[in-house]
Amino acid sequence: MNTELIYLKDNNLKQVTAKLIKMETTEQGQYCIFDQSVFYPKGGGQACDVGTISNDSKVVFDISYTGFHEGQVLHYGDFKDFQFAEGSSWELKIDPAVRLTNSKGHTAGHLVHLVMEELVPELTATKGHHFPKDAYIRFDGLTNVDRDELILKANENIKKYIDEGFPVKSEILSLDQLKKLVKNIPFNLPEDKPLRTIAIGEYFPVPCGGTHLNDLSELKSATITKIKHKKGNTVVGYAFD
């Protein structure tokens, strides 16, 4: 049974009641699987949510890491010898401060992507790494534009878009619908199921399973810090708050 990913439908929901599918103990640690979850598991260039699970008997466990495997979210914690009952109800609650930081990083990455491809259309984004200390977007292709001038202009545009507070919209599209809207489609997208996309304002949607802000005004700042060329790629580092 796959875990229903609540955050794909509602970025703002911070807790949910879920039923336990099973608890496993492995070499990597103990984890619980539930029928649904608000926890974002590490992946897609974004850090995972952390938080707690609790039951009606006031039993509370910290969730220190969440991963994803074969359609299920794995909620890791130190459960010791607690006897979990299959089908029992648990309240899953994420740490809102961690979620906000991760969402800022991911939304800022999409903004950097948008601005860079506007200024240098020959670049195509291929990877995002949205962690706070070393965030970057990697683009296929190189640019001959003066890097200092490009950073200056890109940061001007980023600030303008943040000041305007463009909304960040999510939508479920088919692959055919996405192809009509976007010029650069990742090669490995599934053809037989709907795709969740993210769009800033009225700009092109991007396939994305991460968590995001409601609008750009929630970003205090986003700034490109460096641009470098590496093995035929352009790597754009950025900072955010």
Q: Are 158 and 165 in contact (CB under 8 A)?
A: no
CA distances from 126 to 38, 108, 120, 178 (A): 27, 16, 15, 17
pLDDT at 57 over 70: yes
Question: CA 237 to CA 222: how far, in whole Å?
Answer: 11
pLDDT for the residue 1: 87
Q: Is the pTM value of this prediction over 0.85?
A: yes
Instruction: Indicate the SS3 state at residue 83.
Output: coil
Q: Which of 74-78, 96-100, 145-149, 200-204 has the lowest mean pLDDT?
A: 200-204
Structural domains of the chain, ranges and CATH numbers in brackets: 4-94 (2.40.30.130), 99-240 (3.30.980.10)
Q: What is the pLDDT of residues 175-210, one digit of tens each?
A: 788 777 776 666 566 665 568 899 999 888 888 989
Question: CA 25 to CA 80: how far, in whole Å?
Answer: 10
